[in-house]
Structure 1
Amino acid sequence: MTGLSLALAACNTTDTTDTIRINKAQGGEENIASLTAVIDSNPQDPEGYNTRGSAYGRAGEFKRALSDFNQALTLNPRFFQAYANRGLIYRNMGQPEAALADYNMALKLNPRYDVAFIGRGNVYRQAGQLDAAMNDYNQAIGLDTTDPRAYHNRGLIYQKRGNHAKAIEDFSTAISLSPSSAEPYNGRGISYVAMNDDDNAFADFNHAIELDGSLAESWANQALIYERKGDMRRAYKSYAHALSLDLKYQPARDGVARTRAATGMPAQ
């Protein structure tokens, strides 16, 4: 494959903006102990359980998170934020039907809750129901949301449908709302590649690496531009680094296989 077909095969977007970023520090003993102390001082306050549940979720302790959200909802059955937070946990646990039920309840309690529209849209998008997902993102944006995920994830749908000009607009808005996030730079860069604007794509991929050097996607995308320019040694180096970050990331594996011969490196 060469040219655009190679670009589209090598570039991937990930769902990192609509799944929980695991952050063990936020679920560390000291932080949890502090939140538990707040709950112990006022065990009838549902907000304490909701806050600790969110911390457990970010730490990847989903069962404990569910327990806290359940307790928050027992204390306040109209706590729409807790429904949406529990919906995110269910989504991360691979239970989309339970997630949808919670997002629907959050929206029943608060029809203007943008977070629930975005969360439900993410479930729909993951299930391939792109029209339903687009409608939810549009709803959130129509509520003047400042949550960058609405624009980023709508941009992913535009991108999937080949409307790269619209995708670039949405990724740019997501960047303006969250300039320290690497994901929208990767998304916008991929659409630039699709429009054969390698210079802007390269700038976006490099900036994504500056913001977060731990994303295999960013390094594989950078490698793609090197490959399109014919700089196979640098392409191989970046693909190999991407693969070292995520051994299961297929674009990196494919890129290493394509560019290895040009470097003189033996097959593994």
Structure 2
Amino acid sequence: MIRLLLIPIITLCLFSCDTAEDKKGRFFLKGNAKIQENDFPGAIKYYNEALALDETYAEAYFNRGISYYKTANYEKAISDFTQAINNRPLYLEAYFQRGMAHLDNGENYKALADAKAMIKSSPEIANGYFLQGLAQEALKNHQEALLSFEMAIELDDNNPDLYVNRATIYFYMHRYEEAKSDLEKAKALNAQEPNIYNLESMIAFEDKAYQKALDAIEKAIELDARQPFFYNNRGLYLLFLGKLEEGIEDINFSLKQNSRNLYALRNKGIYYVLVSEKEQAIQYLGEVVEKDPSIPMAAHYFEKANMLN
């Protein structure tokens, strides 16, 4: 009889001896599983539980920050990445992700500061220069961005993202052949990278090869159907192919995902010029020209809008 009682007694001990460390670890792993399932609200719930048990848990702050970032809640993501850094000062991944969140939140100088902190701490790691290049690109310091991406490639020449981003800078500098060369290098490393085909489409559009541009962006969307700027680009190409209603549908879809995208607002303005809706065209293109007159085609189509009857 005594031997039979050992099983429930041992079981009770196993549960009662469960430590806070064990519990927070289980919540953390459950959160990670939810991230793998793309259930970011579910992940946040489990990381909340882990952090309730240990408010210094840097990895839980980091992963909760990733979850907030994936749901475009950039302020909360930045706060969590900051907490991760506060609890683990040399947490380079947290600096990188905070920098990315700053970029998406329009805080380009803060992203640049995070990049510089990474480079100061670990100058031998490519990601610091990568983030610095992205920040300089956002600030339209193209020569500085190019130098940053070149340094990153020197440190990690097997990363296709670096070639795509350097190609993007070449594109902005109208150095299209060098951009194409970098895209071929990226494709050799990872032909499934959708941004390769997005940039190929942009180069084709500059060459007025609109069908080629459309074919390339279709490939990008096939590989990643979640990127709003792919739909914005496809919308633009459809406008120039005379498929106006299909084009505006894509542009509106893109704006629903990111209503602040000036390129999408420009494209919507172009649509209204093409359908001779003067008031709407002036409204959208006027906003773009006021906020960033350097955006290609914006001033040209704003002038066209003002000339409509």
Fold in common (TM above 0.5): yes
What is the CA-CA distance between 1:41 and the residue it aligns to? 5.6
Could you tell me how far 1:170 is from its partner in structure 2? Answer: 2.4
**1:186 aligned partner:** 198
Shift of 1:258: 5.5
1:202/1:225 contact within 8 Å kept: no
What are structure 2's unaligned runs of at least 5 residues?
1-37, 281-309
Q: Per the alignment, do residues 122 and 172 of structure 1 end up closer, same or farther by CA in structure 2, a change over 3 Å counting?
A: same
Deviation at residue 66 of structure 1 after TM alignment: 2.8
Change (3 A) 1:241 1:66: closer
Contact 1:90 1:98 in 2 (8 A): yes
Higher-Rg structure is 2
Match of 2:237 in 1: 222
**2:245 partner letter:** K
Q: Secondary structure at the match of 1:162?
A: coil
Change (3 A) 1:86 1:96: same
Tell me, which stretches of 5 or more residues in structure 1 are unaligned? 1-24, 227-231
Q: Identify the residue that residue 283 of structure 2 maps to in structure 1.
A: none
Match of 2:99 in 1: 87
1:245 is matched with which residue: 247, 250, 253? 253
Change (3 A) 1:148 1:246: same
Aligned-partner Cα distance in 1 for 2:203–2:98: 33
User: Cα 1:100–1:26, aligned 2, differ >3 Å: closer, same or farther?
Assistant: farther
Q: CA deviation at 1:181?
A: 4.7
Identical residues among aligned pairs (%): 22
User: Per the alignment, do residues 51 and 223 of structure 1 end up closer, same or farther by CA in structure 2, a change over 3 Å counting?
Assistant: same
Q: Please tell me the residue identity of whatever aligns with 1:164.
A: Y
Structure 1 residue 155 and structure 2 residue 167: aligned?
yes
Q: Distance in 2 between matches of 1:66 and 1:198?
A: 39
The letter for the 2-side match of 1:81 is: E
Task: Give the counterpart of 1:141 among 137, 146, 153.
Answer: 153
1:27 is matched with 40
- CA displacement 1:211-241 (0-9 Å, x = unmatched): 4275432322431562xxxxx3xx2233222
Query: CA separation of 1:112/1:37 partners in 2, compared to 1, >3 Å: closer, same or farther?
Result: farther
CA distance 1:51–1:219, change in 2 (3 Å)? same
Shift in Å, 1:26: 4.9
- The SS at the match of 1:159 is helix
Specify the alignment match of 1:203 in structure 2: 215
Q: 1:256 aligns with which of 255, 265, 271?
A: 271
Q: Using the alignment, how far apart are the partners of 2:80 and 2:272 within structure 1?
A: 47
Distance 1:254 1:71, change over 3 A: closer
Higher relative contact order (CA 8 A, sep 6+): 1
Would the aligned equivalents of 2:164 and 2:182 in 1 still touch at CA under 8 Å? Answer: yes
Q: CA deviation at 1:254?
A: 4.6
CA distance in 1, matches of 2:164, 2:136: 15
Map of 1:6 onto structure 2: none
Q: Quote the offset at 1:42 in angstroms.
A: 5.4
More deviation, 167-176/72-81: 167-176
